[in-house]
Structure 1
């Protein structure tokens, strides 16, 4: 399910912290803009419109040095299939959860190698 990104509220922008525009991602990874757009279209990452100019952006933590985090796509799919839009998915991934084994947000747990735990919680959220 692909939706047209709408501008998100400042609270979500602050929760995420660092955002990358499509050109920022392309430059950081040294890939063509079309490849970044394709990763958004393929739901490897999700993007929303941020800032006063409402530019399309992706949370920087969705990427490691080689590209989109491999453990993210399945989690995005589970949350999307559960009815969340892109902004809700991002909010869920970045909202702190003290019950996680690493004691932070699901995105932190993914970075810590806790993909199964995050997916279990995403599936429970989708019910």
Structure 2
């Protein structure tokens, strides 16, 4: 059993994922530091096909963790949401954004996603 925090795979099948060594390579850090990011909630992982993976969209075009992701995860965890619930919400289509909240984190709608997460947590 892994001591690295992860959820069951609740992601839609079309979500591109990276295994932990790939995440480490893209971030330019050791895999053990990726484990720390998962423990700290800066990233979230799921178990897919017996491997721990992270959604590729959690990294930006500069190969850094999305700016608002750690704070969003912290807000929702503090509000009582489990990681699998956070993942479901991030990857669920939302016509009012439009699209998935995780996609909005890549652009000018990131603050709106954070505002919604804060409202959900209270």
The TM-score range, normalised by the shorter chain, is: 0.7 to 0.9
Number of the residue aligned with 1:14: 13
Residue 24 and residue 69 in structure 1: after superposition, are their counterparts in 2 closer, same or farther (change >3 A)? same
Deviation at 1:4, TM superposition (A): 4.1
RMSD over aligned Cα atoms: 1.9
Number of the residue aligned with 1:58: 54
Contact 1:50/1:57 (CA < 8 Å) preserved in 2? yes
TM-score (norm 2): 0.84
Contact 1:48/1:86 (CA < 8 Å) preserved in 2? no
Write the deviation string for residues 70-121 of structure 1: whole angstroms up to 9, x where unpaired: 2111111111112111121111111111112xx1111111111222211111
The runs of 5 or more residues in structure 2 that have no matched partner are none
**Secondary structure at the counterpart of residue 8 of structure 2:** coil
- Tell me, yes or no, if structure 1 residue 76 matches structure 2 residue 77: no
Number of the residue aligned with 1:89: 86
Contact 2:80/2:121 (CA < 8 Å) preserved in 1? yes
- Tell me, yes or no, if structure 1 residue 113 matches structure 2 residue 108: yes
The runs of 5 or more residues in structure 1 that have no matched partner are none
> Relative to total residues, which structure has the larger helix share, 1 or 2?
1
> How many residue pairs were aligned?
118
Deviation at 1:66, TM superposition (A): 3.2
